[in-house]
Protein backbone atom coordinates (compact mmCIF):
# COMPACT_ATOMS: atom_id res chain seq x y z
CA UNK A 1 0.00 0.00 0.00
CA UNK A 2 1.56 3.32 -0.97
CA UNK A 3 0.34 6.44 0.75
CA UNK A 4 1.35 9.86 -0.50
CA UNK A 5 1.66 11.01 3.10
CA UNK A 6 4.33 8.48 4.00
CA UNK A 7 6.85 11.25 3.57
CA UNK A 8 5.17 12.93 6.55
CA UNK A 9 5.51 11.78 10.09
CA UNK A 10 3.22 8.81 10.61
CA UNK A 11 2.39 8.05 14.23
CA UNK A 12 1.68 4.33 14.19
CA UNK A 13 -0.33 2.47 16.82
CA UNK A 14 0.27 4.95 19.63
CA UNK A 15 -1.15 3.94 23.01
CA UNK A 16 -3.85 6.18 24.49
CA UNK A 17 -1.56 7.84 27.05
CA UNK A 18 0.80 9.05 24.34
CA UNK A 19 -2.07 10.31 22.23
CA UNK A 20 -3.37 12.22 25.24
CA UNK A 21 -0.04 14.04 25.58
CA UNK A 22 -0.06 14.94 21.89
CA UNK A 23 -3.65 16.14 22.01
CA UNK A 24 -2.85 18.34 25.03
CA UNK A 25 0.29 19.67 23.36
CA UNK A 26 -1.64 20.60 20.23
CA UNK A 27 -4.21 22.42 22.35
CA UNK A 28 -6.94 20.05 21.14
CA UNK A 29 -8.13 18.83 24.54
CA UNK A 30 -8.12 19.33 28.30
CA UNK A 31 -7.88 16.90 31.21
CA UNK A 32 -10.72 16.64 33.69
CA UNK A 33 -10.26 16.02 37.41
CA UNK A 34 -10.98 12.31 36.83
CA UNK A 35 -8.16 12.03 34.28
CA UNK A 36 -10.53 11.73 31.30
CA UNK A 37 -9.67 13.86 28.28
CA UNK A 38 -12.22 16.35 26.95
CA UNK A 39 -12.26 17.23 23.27
CA UNK A 40 -14.59 19.03 20.90
CA UNK A 41 -15.47 17.50 17.57
CA UNK A 42 -16.09 20.82 15.82
CA UNK A 43 -19.08 21.75 13.70
CA UNK A 44 -20.51 18.23 13.78
CA UNK A 45 -21.52 16.75 17.12
CA UNK A 46 -23.82 14.10 15.65
CA UNK A 47 -24.13 11.89 12.59
CA UNK A 48 -25.24 13.21 9.25
CA UNK A 49 -27.14 10.32 7.60
CA UNK A 50 -28.00 12.34 4.49
CA UNK A 51 -24.30 12.62 3.66
CA UNK A 52 -23.60 8.91 3.62
CA UNK A 53 -22.84 7.23 0.31
CA UNK A 54 -22.09 3.80 -1.07
CA UNK A 55 -20.21 3.42 -4.33
CA UNK A 56 -22.60 2.00 -6.90
CA UNK A 57 -20.75 -0.51 -9.06
CA UNK A 58 -20.93 -4.11 -10.23
CA UNK A 59 -20.48 -5.38 -6.65
CA UNK A 60 -23.21 -3.30 -5.05
CA UNK A 61 -25.63 -2.64 -7.92
CA UNK A 62 -27.90 -5.62 -7.21
CA UNK A 63 -27.18 -6.16 -3.55
CA UNK A 64 -27.46 -2.74 -1.90
CA UNK A 65 -30.91 -1.36 -1.19
CA UNK A 66 -30.67 2.10 -2.73
CA UNK A 67 -32.82 4.02 -0.30
CA UNK A 68 -32.32 7.40 1.37
CA UNK A 69 -29.71 6.03 3.75
CA UNK A 70 -27.70 4.40 0.98
CA UNK A 71 -27.04 7.23 -1.43
CA UNK A 72 -25.29 6.09 -4.59
CA UNK A 73 -21.92 7.51 -5.61
CA UNK A 74 -20.32 6.76 -8.99
CA UNK A 75 -16.87 5.14 -8.92
CA UNK A 76 -15.32 8.13 -10.72
CA UNK A 77 -16.44 10.47 -7.91
CA UNK A 78 -15.12 8.08 -5.28
CA UNK A 79 -11.72 7.93 -6.98
CA UNK A 80 -11.53 11.72 -7.27
CA UNK A 81 -12.55 12.08 -3.63
CA UNK A 82 -9.98 9.54 -2.47
CA UNK A 83 -7.24 11.22 -4.47
CA UNK A 84 -8.05 14.66 -3.07
CA UNK A 85 -8.49 13.36 0.47
CA UNK A 86 -5.09 11.64 0.35
CA UNK A 87 -3.49 14.73 -1.14
CA UNK A 88 -4.96 16.74 1.72
CA UNK A 89 -3.51 14.31 4.28
CA UNK A 90 -0.26 14.40 2.34
CA UNK A 91 -0.08 18.15 2.94
CA UNK A 92 -0.14 17.64 6.71
CA UNK A 93 3.05 17.41 8.69
CA UNK A 94 1.87 14.36 10.56
CA UNK A 95 -0.89 11.78 10.43
CA UNK A 96 -2.01 8.99 12.75
CA UNK A 97 -2.35 5.39 11.74
CA UNK A 98 -3.48 2.34 13.65
CA UNK A 99 -4.49 -1.19 12.83
CA UNK A 100 -7.45 -2.66 14.65
CA UNK A 101 -9.87 -5.57 14.50
CA UNK A 102 -13.64 -5.66 14.40
CA UNK A 103 -15.54 -8.76 15.64
CA UNK A 104 -14.73 -10.45 18.93
CA UNK A 105 -15.33 -13.87 17.38
CA UNK A 106 -12.08 -14.72 15.61
CA UNK A 107 -13.93 -16.56 12.85
CA UNK A 108 -15.25 -13.24 11.54
CA UNK A 109 -12.40 -10.94 12.41
CA UNK A 110 -11.99 -8.00 10.10
CA UNK A 111 -8.69 -6.10 10.11
CA UNK A 112 -8.95 -2.38 9.51
CA UNK A 113 -6.33 0.34 9.08
CA UNK A 114 -7.42 3.69 10.48
CA UNK A 115 -5.73 6.74 9.00
CA UNK A 116 -6.58 9.90 10.89
CA UNK A 117 -5.79 13.57 10.51
CA UNK A 118 -6.21 14.08 14.26
CA UNK A 119 -4.76 12.26 17.26
CA UNK A 120 -8.15 12.44 19.03
CA UNK A 121 -9.76 10.32 16.30
CA UNK A 122 -6.96 7.77 16.65
CA UNK A 123 -7.62 7.74 20.41
CA UNK A 124 -11.31 7.08 19.71
CA UNK A 125 -10.38 4.17 17.42
CA UNK A 126 -8.07 2.74 20.10
CA UNK A 127 -10.90 2.88 22.64
CA UNK A 128 -13.65 1.50 20.41
CA UNK A 129 -12.13 -1.28 18.35
CA UNK A 130 -10.30 -4.47 19.28
CA UNK A 131 -6.57 -3.83 19.68
CA UNK A 132 -4.35 -6.49 18.09
CA UNK A 133 -1.69 -8.14 20.26
CA UNK A 134 1.90 -7.17 19.29
CA UNK A 135 2.43 -10.56 17.61
CA UNK A 136 -0.75 -10.11 15.59
CA UNK A 137 0.51 -6.79 14.27
CA UNK A 138 3.59 -8.41 12.72
CA UNK A 139 2.92 -8.94 9.07
CA UNK A 140 -0.68 -7.76 9.43
CA UNK A 141 -2.14 -6.60 6.12
CA UNK A 142 -5.36 -4.84 7.00
CA UNK A 143 -8.18 -5.76 4.71
CA UNK A 144 -10.10 -2.49 5.00
CA UNK A 145 -9.08 1.13 5.42
CA UNK A 146 -10.83 4.04 7.05
CA UNK A 147 -9.41 7.36 5.84
CA UNK A 148 -10.61 10.22 7.96
CA UNK A 149 -9.93 13.95 7.72
CA UNK A 150 -12.32 16.33 9.52
CA UNK A 151 -10.48 19.33 8.02
CA UNK A 152 -11.04 18.27 4.42
CA UNK A 153 -14.07 19.60 2.57
CA UNK A 154 -15.48 17.80 -0.45
CA UNK A 155 -16.56 19.73 -3.50
CA UNK A 156 -20.11 18.57 -4.35
CA UNK A 157 -19.64 19.29 -8.07
CA UNK A 158 -16.41 17.36 -8.38
CA UNK A 159 -17.05 14.62 -5.82
CA UNK A 160 -20.78 14.04 -6.09
CA UNK A 161 -21.41 14.72 -2.40
CA UNK A 162 -24.28 16.79 -1.02
CA UNK A 163 -22.07 19.12 1.02
CA UNK A 164 -18.47 19.36 2.25
CA UNK A 165 -18.93 16.55 4.79
CA UNK A 166 -19.33 12.90 3.82
CA UNK A 167 -18.97 9.24 4.71
CA UNK A 168 -18.40 7.11 1.62
CA UNK A 169 -18.10 3.32 1.54
CA UNK A 170 -16.64 1.41 -1.37
CA UNK A 171 -17.00 -2.36 -1.08
CA UNK A 172 -14.81 -2.88 -4.16
CA UNK A 173 -11.94 -0.77 -2.86
CA UNK A 174 -12.57 -1.84 0.76
CA UNK A 175 -12.38 1.71 1.96
CA UNK A 176 -14.42 4.12 4.04
CA UNK A 177 -13.67 7.79 3.39
CA UNK A 178 -14.83 10.28 6.01
CA UNK A 179 -14.31 14.02 5.70
CA UNK A 180 -15.64 17.37 6.76
CA UNK A 181 -16.84 16.01 10.09
CA UNK A 182 -15.01 15.29 13.33
CA UNK A 183 -17.95 13.42 14.91
CA UNK A 184 -16.33 10.14 15.84
CA UNK A 185 -19.66 8.28 15.69
CA UNK A 186 -19.25 8.34 11.90
CA UNK A 187 -16.17 6.10 12.26
CA UNK A 188 -17.86 3.41 14.34
CA UNK A 189 -21.13 3.49 12.41
CA UNK A 190 -19.17 3.41 9.14
CA UNK A 191 -17.56 0.14 10.21
CA UNK A 192 -20.95 -1.12 11.44
CA UNK A 193 -22.35 -0.39 7.97
CA UNK A 194 -19.78 -2.56 6.21
CA UNK A 195 -20.29 -5.40 8.70
CA UNK A 196 -24.03 -5.19 8.05
CA UNK A 197 -23.19 -6.11 4.45
CA UNK A 198 -20.26 -8.49 4.80
CA UNK A 199 -21.48 -10.69 7.65
CA UNK A 200 -24.89 -11.71 6.32
CA UNK A 201 -23.78 -12.12 2.71
CA UNK A 202 -20.39 -13.69 3.41
CA UNK A 203 -21.05 -15.74 6.52
CA UNK A 204 -24.81 -15.99 7.11
CA UNK A 205 -24.37 -14.07 10.38
CA UNK A 206 -27.17 -11.77 11.50
CA UNK A 207 -25.80 -8.31 12.37
CA UNK A 208 -27.79 -6.38 14.98
CA UNK A 209 -27.99 -2.84 16.31
CA UNK A 210 -28.24 -4.00 19.91
CA UNK A 211 -26.37 -4.24 23.18
CA UNK A 212 -25.87 -7.55 24.99
CA UNK A 213 -25.16 -8.91 28.42
CA UNK A 214 -25.17 -12.27 30.16
CA UNK A 215 -26.48 -13.31 33.57
CA UNK A 216 -24.93 -15.54 36.20
CA UNK A 217 -26.87 -18.53 34.86
CA UNK A 218 -25.27 -17.94 31.46
CA UNK A 219 -28.47 -16.47 30.02
CA UNK A 220 -27.89 -13.94 27.26
CA UNK A 221 -30.04 -10.86 26.71
CA UNK A 222 -30.12 -8.50 23.74
CA UNK A 223 -31.34 -4.90 23.81
CA UNK A 224 -32.26 -3.57 20.38
CA UNK A 225 -32.87 0.12 19.91
CA UNK A 226 -32.16 3.17 17.88
CA UNK A 227 -29.85 5.83 19.28
CA UNK A 228 -30.79 7.15 22.70
CA UNK A 229 -33.22 4.39 23.63
CA UNK A 230 -31.01 2.89 26.36
CA UNK A 231 -28.81 0.19 24.81
CA UNK A 232 -25.65 1.43 26.52
CA UNK A 233 -27.29 2.45 29.80
CA UNK A 234 -29.30 -0.72 30.31
CA UNK A 235 -26.62 -3.19 29.23
CA UNK A 236 -24.27 -1.93 31.98
CA UNK A 237 -25.67 -3.90 34.88
CA UNK A 238 -23.68 -4.95 37.97
CA UNK A 239 -25.64 -8.23 38.07
CA UNK A 240 -24.73 -9.23 34.51
CA UNK A 241 -21.52 -9.42 32.45
CA UNK A 242 -21.36 -6.88 29.66
CA UNK A 243 -20.80 -8.24 26.15
CA UNK A 244 -21.16 -4.94 24.32
CA UNK A 245 -23.18 -1.75 24.14
CA UNK A 246 -24.11 -1.29 20.48
CA UNK A 247 -23.28 -3.72 17.65
CA UNK A 248 -23.40 -7.52 17.66
CA UNK A 249 -23.58 -10.55 15.40
CA UNK A 250 -25.61 -13.75 15.95
CA UNK A 251 -24.45 -17.04 14.40
CA UNK A 252 -25.25 -20.72 15.10
CA UNK A 253 -23.18 -20.68 18.28
CA UNK A 254 -24.38 -17.40 19.76
CA UNK A 255 -23.67 -13.70 19.97
CA UNK A 256 -20.46 -11.69 19.66
CA UNK A 257 -19.56 -8.03 19.89
CA UNK A 258 -18.24 -6.19 16.82
CA UNK A 259 -16.39 -3.65 18.94
CA UNK A 260 -13.91 -3.45 21.78
CA UNK A 261 -15.30 -0.40 23.56
CA UNK A 262 -18.38 1.57 24.49
CA UNK A 263 -19.65 4.97 23.39
CA UNK A 264 -22.01 6.25 26.07
CA UNK A 265 -24.18 9.31 26.16
CA UNK A 266 -23.29 11.42 29.17
CA UNK A 267 -25.97 14.06 29.21
CA UNK A 268 -27.21 14.28 32.82
CA UNK A 269 -24.96 11.35 33.76
CA UNK A 270 -24.93 10.80 37.52
CA UNK A 271 -23.00 8.44 39.75
CA UNK A 272 -26.15 7.41 41.53
CA UNK A 273 -28.17 6.51 38.39
CA UNK A 274 -25.42 5.05 36.20
CA UNK A 275 -22.46 4.13 38.45
CA UNK A 276 -20.68 1.84 35.94
CA UNK A 277 -20.60 4.45 33.17
CA UNK A 278 -19.81 7.26 35.61
CA UNK A 279 -16.75 5.43 36.89
CA UNK A 280 -15.59 4.75 33.32
CA UNK A 281 -15.11 8.49 32.78
CA UNK A 282 -11.48 8.30 33.90
CA UNK A 283 -7.93 8.36 32.52
CA UNK A 284 -8.04 6.71 29.10
CA UNK A 285 -11.63 7.76 28.43
CA UNK A 286 -12.32 10.34 25.73
CA UNK A 287 -15.14 12.78 26.43
CA UNK A 288 -16.72 14.62 23.50
CA UNK A 289 -18.40 18.01 23.48
CA UNK A 290 -18.94 18.42 27.22
CA UNK A 291 -17.52 21.37 29.17
CA UNK A 292 -16.24 22.03 32.66
CA UNK A 293 -18.18 23.36 35.63
CA UNK A 294 -17.26 27.06 35.87
CA UNK A 295 -13.85 27.64 37.40
CA UNK A 296 -13.05 23.93 37.78
CA UNK A 297 -11.94 20.97 35.73
CA UNK A 298 -14.91 18.89 36.88
CA UNK A 299 -17.10 17.78 33.97
CA UNK A 300 -20.44 19.55 33.65
CA UNK A 301 -22.69 16.64 32.74
CA UNK A 302 -25.75 18.90 32.67
CA UNK A 303 -24.58 21.42 30.13
CA UNK A 304 -26.25 21.36 26.73
CA UNK A 305 -24.22 24.30 25.53
CA UNK A 306 -22.49 22.46 22.68
CA UNK A 307 -24.99 19.62 22.16
CA UNK A 308 -27.29 17.17 23.97
CA UNK A 309 -25.26 14.40 22.36
CA UNK A 310 -22.32 14.60 24.75
CA UNK A 311 -20.41 11.32 24.71
CA UNK A 312 -17.61 9.30 26.22
CA UNK A 313 -15.71 6.43 24.62
CA UNK A 314 -13.79 3.91 26.72
CA UNK A 315 -12.45 0.38 26.23
CA UNK A 316 -14.74 -2.45 27.36
CA UNK A 317 -12.47 -3.32 30.28
CA UNK A 318 -13.39 0.03 31.90
CA UNK A 319 -16.62 -1.70 32.90
CA UNK A 320 -15.58 -4.04 35.72
CA UNK A 321 -17.79 -6.96 34.73
CA UNK A 322 -17.24 -6.87 30.97
CA UNK A 323 -16.55 -10.21 29.30
CA UNK A 324 -13.48 -10.22 27.04
CA UNK A 325 -13.39 -11.72 24.44
CA UNK A 326 -16.96 -10.52 24.17
CA UNK A 327 -18.66 -13.69 23.04
CA UNK A 328 -21.71 -15.37 24.56
CA UNK A 329 -24.38 -17.97 23.79
CA UNK A 330 -27.76 -17.92 22.11
CA UNK A 331 -30.14 -15.34 23.65
CA UNK A 332 -32.97 -16.31 25.98
CA UNK A 333 -34.44 -12.80 26.14
CA UNK A 334 -34.66 -10.05 23.55
CA UNK A 335 -35.77 -6.54 24.47
CA UNK A 336 -36.87 -3.99 21.91
CA UNK A 337 -36.17 -0.58 23.41
CA UNK A 338 -38.34 2.22 22.21
CA UNK A 339 -38.30 5.77 23.46
CA UNK A 340 -41.99 6.52 22.87
CA UNK A 341 -42.41 10.30 22.90
CA UNK A 342 -46.22 9.87 22.73
CA UNK A 343 -46.39 8.08 26.09
CA UNK A 344 -48.66 5.46 24.54
CA UNK A 345 -46.79 2.16 24.71
CA UNK A 346 -46.65 0.23 27.99
CA UNK A 347 -43.35 0.39 29.88
CA UNK A 348 -43.03 -3.39 29.49
CA UNK A 349 -44.96 -5.85 27.39
CA UNK A 350 -44.44 -9.29 25.90
CA UNK A 351 -44.67 -9.96 22.18
CA UNK A 352 -45.80 -13.03 20.30
CA UNK A 353 -43.35 -14.11 17.55
CA UNK A 354 -45.61 -12.44 14.92
CA UNK A 355 -45.68 -9.22 16.91
CA UNK A 356 -41.91 -9.43 17.31
CA UNK A 357 -41.53 -9.42 13.53
CA UNK A 358 -44.00 -6.55 13.15
CA UNK A 359 -42.14 -4.38 15.67
CA UNK A 360 -38.71 -5.38 14.32
CA UNK A 361 -39.67 -4.32 10.80
CA UNK A 362 -41.27 -1.09 12.03
CA UNK A 363 -38.51 -0.16 14.51
CA UNK A 364 -40.58 2.56 16.12
CA UNK A 365 -38.97 5.12 18.41
CA UNK A 366 -38.38 8.82 18.82
CA UNK A 367 -35.05 10.23 17.76
CA UNK A 368 -33.64 12.05 20.75
CA UNK A 369 -32.01 15.42 20.42
CA UNK A 370 -28.50 15.70 19.10
CA UNK A 371 -27.44 12.32 17.75
CA UNK A 372 -28.38 13.32 14.23
CA UNK A 373 -27.87 16.72 12.73
CA UNK A 374 -30.94 18.93 13.04
CA UNK A 375 -32.85 16.89 15.65
CA UNK A 376 -33.59 19.30 18.51
CA UNK A 377 -36.42 17.52 20.34
CA UNK A 378 -37.87 14.00 20.27
CA UNK A 379 -39.00 13.22 16.76
CA UNK A 380 -41.07 10.16 15.88
CA UNK A 381 -39.34 7.78 13.52
CA UNK A 382 -39.66 4.28 12.15
CA UNK A 383 -36.27 2.73 11.58
CA UNK A 384 -36.29 -0.80 10.14
CA UNK A 385 -34.57 -3.38 12.35
CA UNK A 386 -33.90 -0.50 14.81
CA UNK A 387 -31.00 0.61 12.64
CA UNK A 388 -32.08 1.68 9.14
CA UNK A 389 -29.27 4.24 8.64
CA UNK A 390 -26.69 1.44 8.91
CA UNK A 391 -28.25 -1.24 6.70
CA UNK A 392 -26.90 -1.59 3.15
CA UNK A 393 -29.22 -4.52 2.34
CA UNK A 394 -32.99 -4.52 2.13
CA UNK A 395 -34.52 -4.70 5.64
CA UNK A 396 -36.43 -7.85 4.61
CA UNK A 397 -33.14 -9.64 4.30
CA UNK A 398 -32.29 -9.02 7.96
CA UNK A 399 -35.89 -9.64 8.98
CA UNK A 400 -35.84 -13.09 7.36
CA UNK A 401 -32.70 -14.00 9.29
CA UNK A 402 -34.11 -12.57 12.52
CA UNK A 403 -37.32 -14.59 12.14
CA UNK A 404 -35.31 -17.81 11.77
CA UNK A 405 -33.20 -16.91 14.82
CA UNK A 406 -36.15 -16.27 17.12
CA UNK A 407 -37.89 -19.41 15.92
CA UNK A 408 -34.80 -21.60 16.45
CA UNK A 409 -33.86 -20.07 19.79
CA UNK A 410 -37.36 -19.72 21.21
CA UNK A 411 -36.14 -16.49 22.83
CA UNK A 412 -38.77 -14.43 24.64
CA UNK A 413 -39.27 -11.03 23.01
CA UNK A 414 -40.28 -8.01 25.08
CA UNK A 415 -40.90 -4.37 24.33
CA UNK A 416 -39.62 -1.79 26.79
CA UNK A 417 -40.75 1.80 26.50
CA UNK A 418 -37.90 3.88 27.91
CA UNK A 419 -39.69 7.06 26.82
CA UNK A 420 -42.69 8.90 28.16
CA UNK A 421 -45.41 8.05 30.64
CA UNK A 422 -48.37 10.03 31.98
CA UNK A 423 -48.69 11.92 28.69
CA UNK A 424 -46.60 12.79 25.67
CA UNK A 425 -43.28 14.64 25.60
CA UNK A 426 -43.99 18.08 27.04
CA UNK A 427 -46.82 16.90 29.33
CA UNK A 428 -45.74 13.57 30.80
CA UNK A 429 -42.36 12.51 32.11
CA UNK A 430 -39.67 10.08 31.01
CA UNK A 431 -40.04 6.73 32.76
CA UNK A 432 -37.60 6.52 35.62
CA UNK A 433 -34.50 4.47 34.99
CA UNK A 434 -35.03 2.75 38.35
CA UNK A 435 -38.38 1.36 37.19
CA UNK A 436 -37.05 0.35 33.77
CA UNK A 437 -34.22 -1.53 35.47
CA UNK A 438 -36.71 -3.20 37.86
CA UNK A 439 -38.81 -4.36 34.90
CA UNK A 440 -35.81 -5.79 33.09
CA UNK A 441 -34.57 -7.53 36.16
CA UNK A 442 -38.03 -9.06 36.76
CA UNK A 443 -38.26 -10.30 33.17
CA UNK A 444 -34.72 -11.69 33.22
CA UNK A 445 -35.19 -13.33 36.62
CA UNK A 446 -38.36 -15.16 35.54
CA UNK A 447 -40.40 -13.11 38.02
CA UNK A 448 -43.00 -12.30 35.39
CA UNK A 449 -43.50 -15.94 34.39
CA UNK A 450 -46.52 -16.47 36.61
CA UNK A 451 -48.14 -13.05 36.70
CA UNK A 452 -51.35 -12.17 34.89
CA UNK A 453 -50.87 -10.45 31.53
CA UNK A 454 -53.63 -8.44 29.94
CA UNK A 455 -53.92 -7.67 26.26
CA UNK A 456 -53.60 -4.02 25.23
CA UNK A 457 -56.92 -3.36 23.47
CA UNK A 458 -55.36 -1.54 20.51
CA UNK A 459 -51.82 -2.81 20.14
CA UNK A 460 -52.48 -6.39 21.23
CA UNK A 461 -49.32 -6.34 23.36
CA UNK A 462 -49.30 -8.51 26.47
CA UNK A 463 -48.92 -6.30 29.54
CA UNK A 464 -47.97 -7.77 32.94
CA UNK A 465 -50.34 -6.59 35.66
CA UNK A 466 -47.76 -6.91 38.39
CA UNK A 467 -44.02 -6.32 38.43
CA UNK A 468 -41.84 -6.36 41.53
CA UNK A 469 -40.44 -2.92 42.35
CA UNK A 470 -42.79 -1.05 39.99
CA UNK A 471 -46.02 0.74 41.00
CA UNK A 472 -48.88 -1.20 39.39
CA UNK A 473 -50.51 1.97 38.01
CA UNK A 474 -47.44 2.60 35.86
CA UNK A 475 -47.84 -0.67 33.95
CA UNK A 476 -51.00 0.36 32.07
CA UNK A 477 -50.21 3.65 30.33
CA UNK A 478 -53.87 4.69 29.99
CA UNK A 479 -54.07 4.84 33.80
CA UNK A 480 -51.12 7.23 33.95
CA UNK A 481 -52.76 9.89 31.77
CA UNK A 482 -54.96 12.47 33.42
CA UNK A 483 -57.28 12.40 30.41
CA UNK A 484 -57.92 8.78 29.42
CA UNK A 485 -59.74 9.80 26.25
CA UNK A 486 -56.73 11.83 25.15
CA UNK A 487 -54.71 8.64 25.65
CA UNK A 488 -57.12 6.72 23.43
CA UNK A 489 -56.82 9.33 20.69
CA UNK A 490 -53.01 9.31 20.88
CA UNK A 491 -52.98 5.50 20.81
CA UNK A 492 -55.26 5.33 17.76
CA UNK A 493 -53.10 7.87 15.97
CA UNK A 494 -49.87 6.00 16.77
CA UNK A 495 -51.40 2.70 15.66
CA UNK A 496 -52.40 4.30 12.35
CA UNK A 497 -48.83 5.49 11.88
CA UNK A 498 -47.57 1.96 12.52
CA UNK A 499 -49.98 0.51 9.96
CA UNK A 500 -49.06 3.15 7.41
CA UNK A 501 -45.35 2.54 7.89
CA UNK A 502 -45.82 -1.22 7.65
CA UNK A 503 -47.72 -0.88 4.39
CA UNK A 504 -45.07 1.49 3.04
CA UNK A 505 -42.44 -1.16 3.75
CA UNK A 506 -44.49 -3.78 1.94
CA UNK A 507 -45.07 -1.67 -1.16
CA UNK A 508 -43.44 -2.92 -4.39
CA UNK A 509 -41.23 0.18 -4.62
CA UNK A 510 -39.67 -0.77 -1.28
CA UNK A 511 -38.74 -4.20 -2.65
CA UNK A 512 -36.12 -3.18 -5.15
CA UNK A 513 -33.53 -5.78 -4.29
CA UNK A 514 -35.26 -8.22 -1.93
CA UNK A 515 -35.76 -10.73 -4.73
CA UNK A 516 -32.11 -10.64 -5.76
CA UNK A 517 -31.00 -11.89 -2.35
N1 LIG B 1 -35.97 4.79 31.63
C2 LIG B 1 -34.84 4.94 30.98
N3 LIG B 1 -34.23 3.88 30.38
C4 LIG B 1 -33.08 4.03 29.70
N5 LIG B 1 -32.43 5.21 29.57
C6 LIG B 1 -32.98 6.29 30.15
C7 LIG B 1 -34.19 6.22 30.87
N8 LIG B 1 -34.49 7.44 31.33
C9 LIG B 1 -33.52 8.26 30.91
N10 LIG B 1 -32.60 7.59 30.21
C11 LIG B 1 -31.39 8.20 29.57
O12 LIG B 1 -31.50 7.99 28.19
C13 LIG B 1 -30.21 7.83 27.61
C14 LIG B 1 -30.11 6.49 26.90
O15 LIG B 1 -28.95 6.55 26.12
P16 LIG B 1 -28.04 5.34 25.70
O17 LIG B 1 -28.12 4.24 26.70
O18 LIG B 1 -26.70 5.89 25.40
O19 LIG B 1 -28.79 4.92 24.36
P20 LIG B 1 -28.23 4.09 23.15
O21 LIG B 1 -27.03 3.35 23.60
O22 LIG B 1 -29.38 3.21 22.77
O23 LIG B 1 -27.92 5.11 22.10
C24 LIG B 1 -29.21 7.92 28.73
O25 LIG B 1 -28.74 9.24 28.78
C26 LIG B 1 -30.06 7.58 29.97
O27 LIG B 1 -29.58 8.19 31.15
C1 LIG C 1 -23.04 6.47 18.07
C2 LIG C 1 -24.27 6.31 17.76
O3 LIG C 1 -24.99 5.27 18.26
P4 LIG C 1 -25.84 5.04 19.57
O5 LIG C 1 -26.46 6.36 19.91
O6 LIG C 1 -26.80 3.99 19.16
O7 LIG C 1 -24.93 4.61 20.68
C8 LIG C 1 -24.87 7.19 16.76
O9 LIG C 1 -26.02 6.90 16.38
O10 LIG C 1 -24.20 8.14 16.30
MN1 LIG D 1 -25.11 3.47 22.73
Domains, the chain, ordered by start: 47-203 (3.40.449.10), 206-260+324-516 (3.90.228.20)
Any known ligand binding at 226? yes
pLDDT beyond 90 at 487: yes
- What is the average pLDDT across 34-54? 98
> Residue 392 — very low, low, confident or very high, per pLDDT cuts 50/70/90?
very high
Q: What ligand 1 atom has the least distance to the C-alpha of 435? A: 1
Cα(3) to ligand 3 centroid in Å equals 34
Any known ligand binding at 240? no
Instruction: Tell me the C-alpha distance between 287 and 20, whole Å.
Output: 12
Which pairs count as long-range contacts for 379-382, CB under 8 Å and 24+ apart, including other chains? Answer: 379/341, 380/341, 380/342, 380/497, 381/226, 382/497, 382/498, 382/501
> Residue 508 — very low, low, confident or very high, per pLDDT cuts 50/70/90?
low
Any known ligand binding at 209? yes
pLDDT in tens, 458-470: 999 999 999 999 9
Closest CA to 236 of 467, 440, 383: 440
Strand (E) or helix (H) holding 73? strand 71-73
pLDDT above 90 covers a percentage of the chain that reads 92
Closest CA to 337 of 319, 301, 306, 364: 364
Helices and strands (DSSP H and E) totals, the chain: 14, 31
- What is the average pLDDT across 282-303? 98
> Residue 511 — very low, low, confident or very high, per pLDDT cuts 50/70/90?
very low
pLDDT beyond 60 at 389: yes
| Ligand 2 contact via 227 beta carbon (within 6 Å) | yes
Mean pLDDT of the chain: 95
The catalytic residue positions are: 47, 189, 209, 227, 231-232, 246, 311
* Confidence (pLDDT) at 5: 62
| Ligand 2 contact via 371 beta carbon (within 6 Å) | yes
> Residue 507 — very low, low, confident or very high, per pLDDT cuts 50/70/90?
low
Crossing angle of the two packed helices 185-203 and 119-128, in degrees rounded to 10: 40
Instruction: Tell me the C-alpha distance between 128 and 3, whole Å.
Output: 25
Ligand 1 pocket, Cβ-based, cut-off 6 angstroms: 225, 227-234, 264-265, 267, 418, 430-431, 433, 436
Are the C-beta atoms of residues 49 and 372 closer than 8 Å to each other?
A: yes
For a mutational test of ligand 2's pocket, the pick from 189, 259, 363, 391, i.e. the residue with the most ligand atoms closer than 8 A to its C-beta, is 189
381: β partners = 365
**Residue whose CA is closest, atom 3 of ligand 2?**
227
For a mutational test of ligand 1's pocket, the pick from 229, 230, 242, 347, i.e. the residue with the most ligand atoms closer than 8 A to its C-beta, is 230
**Residue whose CA is closest, atom 14 of ligand 1?**
230
pLDDT beyond 60 at 402: yes
What is the layout of strands, in order, in the sheet containing 261-265? 30-31, 37-39, 286-288, 311-315, 261-265
pLDDT in tens, 80-96: 999 999 999 999 999 99
pLDDT in tens, 148-170: 999 999 999 999 999 999 999 99
- What is the average pLDDT across 491-502? 93
**Span between the terminal Cα atoms of the chain, in Å:** 33
* Confidence (pLDDT) at 504: 87
pLDDT beyond 70 at 108: yes
Any known ligand binding at 430? yes
pLDDT beyond 80 at 499: yes
- What is the average pLDDT across 482-487? 97
pTM: predicted TM-score of the whole model, two decimal places = 0.96
Instruction: Tell me the C-alpha distance between 489 and 370, whole Å.
Output: 29
pLDDT beyond 80 at 512: no
| Ligand 2 contact via 362 beta carbon (within 6 Å) | no
* Confidence (pLDDT) at 8: 78
pLDDT beyond 90 at 123: yes
> Residue 506 — very low, low, confident or very high, per pLDDT cuts 50/70/90?
confident
Any known ligand binding at 489? no
Q: What ligand 1 atom has the least distance to the C-alpha of 266? A: 25
Residue 276 backbone phi and psi in degrees, to 5: -65, -45
pLDDT above 70 covers a percentage of the chain that reads 95
Cα(244) to ligand 3 centroid in Å equals 9
Cα(61) to ligand 3 centroid in Å equals 31
Closest CA to 222 of 411, 361, 48, 410: 411
Amino acid sequence: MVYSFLKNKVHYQLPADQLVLQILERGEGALSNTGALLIRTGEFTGRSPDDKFIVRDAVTEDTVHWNRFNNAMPTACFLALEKDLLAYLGSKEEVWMRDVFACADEKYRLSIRMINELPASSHFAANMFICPQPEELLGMKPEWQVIHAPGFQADPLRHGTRKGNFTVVSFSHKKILIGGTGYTGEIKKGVFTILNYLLPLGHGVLPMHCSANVGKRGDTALFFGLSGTGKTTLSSDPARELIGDDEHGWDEAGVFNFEGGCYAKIIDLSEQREPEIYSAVRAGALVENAGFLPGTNGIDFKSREITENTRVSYPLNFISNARIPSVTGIPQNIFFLTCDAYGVLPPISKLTPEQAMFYYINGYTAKVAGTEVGVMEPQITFSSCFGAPFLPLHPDFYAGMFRAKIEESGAAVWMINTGWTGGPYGTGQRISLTYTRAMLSAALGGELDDVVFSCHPLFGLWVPQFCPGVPAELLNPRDTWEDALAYDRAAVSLLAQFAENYERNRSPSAQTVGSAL
